[in-house]
C-alpha cells in the first residue's frame, strides 16, 4: 500500500501530533483536531492584510498610551499624575527594581517588539517579498507571544481602579482609553497571525 504524499498542506496537531491534510480548507473555515479537539488553524485569504492593519493600529495606540497621562489621583489636597513609563520608573524609585523590570518588559517592551515584527513579517509576506530575516522574525514572534501580559495588566488596572476609587478621586486620562483599545487591537494582531499559514507562505516564497 502506498503511503500518503506529504506536502505543505499537511499539519501535525501541536498537542497529539496527528497529521491532517488542510489543502481543501476554504476562507473562514476553522480546523480542529479530531483526537484532542485542539485548534489547528483558521483559513483566511486576507490574513496578512488584517495583521498589517491591526499591528499598525496597535503601534499608534501604544505610542499614545505612553505619551499621555494614564491615571491621576487626588486625595487630601494632593494630586499625582502618572504615565505608563512613569509608573515603571516609580516602581524602580521605590526600590522595586525587579517588579519594574517585569512590568516594563511584559506590558511595554515585549508587546512593542511583537507589533513591530508582526507588521514587518505580514508586510513582507503579503507583498510576496523574499526576505532572509522573515523566518527568524516569525520564530521570535511565536516564541514571545506567550510572554506578553497586556490583557492581564489591563484587567489588573480595572480591578485596582474599583478598589482605589473609594479612597481617592481617580481621573482617567487619554492614555487609559488608548491602552484599552490597544489591548483589543493587540489581541487581534496576535490571534490573526496564524502559525500554519505564516510558515506555509514563508516556504512558498523560498522556492
Which helix H or strand E contains 40, and what residues bound it?
strand 39-42
Q: Is the pTM of this model over 0.75?
A: yes
User: What sign has the CA pseudo-torsion 89, 91, 97, 102?
Assistant: negative
Sequence spans of domains, the chain: 1-43, 48-206
What is the separation of C-alpha 96 from the centre of its chain, rounded to a whole number of angstroms? 26
Residues 82 and 72: beta-carbon distance below 8 Å:
yes
Q: DSSP string of 166-201?
A: TTSEEEE-HHHHHHHHHHHHHHHHHHHS-HHHHHHH
- Return the residue matching grid coordinates 523566518: 135
- pLDDT of the residue at 2: 42
**pLDDT tens for the 207 residues of the chain, in order:** 444 444 566 777 766 767 776 666 766 677 777 778 777 677 777 889 999 999 999 999 999 999 998 888 776 666 677 888 888 888 888 888 888 999 899 999 999 999 999 999 999 999 988 888 999 999 999 999 888 889 988 998 888 888 877 777 778 888 999 999 999 999 999 988 888 888 888 888 877
Residues 187 and 150: beta-carbon distance below 8 Å:
yes
- Return the residue matching grid coordinates 476562507: 27
* Cell numbers that stand for 77 in this block: 489636597
Rounded-to-integer distance, Cα 148 and Cα 74, Å: 31
- pLDDT of the residue at 35: 75
Amino acid at each position: 500500500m502506498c503511503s500518503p504524499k506529504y506536502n505543505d498542506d499537511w499539519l501535525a496537531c501541536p498537542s497529539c501530533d496527528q497529521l491532517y491534510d488542510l489543502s481543501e480548507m476554504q476562507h473562514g473555515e476553522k480546523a480542529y483536531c479530531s483526537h484532542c479537539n485542539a485548534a489547528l488553524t483558521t483559513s483566511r485569504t486576507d490574513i496578512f492584510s488584517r495583521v498589517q492593519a491591526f499591528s499598525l493600529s496597535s503601534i499608534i495606540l501604544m505610542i499614545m498610551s505612553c505619551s499621555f497621562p494614564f491615571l491621576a489621583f487626588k486625595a487630601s489636597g494632593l494630586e499625582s499624575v502618572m504615565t505608563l513609563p512613569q509608573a515603571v520608573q516609580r516602581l524602580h524609585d521605590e526600590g522595586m527594581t525587579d517588579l519594574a523590570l517585569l512590568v516594563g518588559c511584559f506590558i511595554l517592551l515585549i508587546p512593542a517588539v511583537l507589533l513591530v515584527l508582526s507588521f514587518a513579517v505580514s508586510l513582507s509576506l503579503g507583498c510576496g517579498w523574499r526576505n532572509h530575516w522573515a523566518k527568524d522574525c516569525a520564530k521570535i514572534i511565536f516564541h514571545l507571544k506567550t510572554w506578553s501580559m497586556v490583557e492581564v495588566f489591563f484587567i489588573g488596572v480595572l480591578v485596582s481602579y474599583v478598589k482605589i476609587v473609594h479612597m481617592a478621586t481617580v481621573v482617567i486620562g487619554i492614555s487609559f482609553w488608548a491602552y484599552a483599545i490597544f489591548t483589543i487591537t493587540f489581541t487581534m494582531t496576535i490571534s490573526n497571525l496564524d502559525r500554519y499559514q505564516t510558515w506555509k507562505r514563508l516556504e512558498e516564497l523560498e522556492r
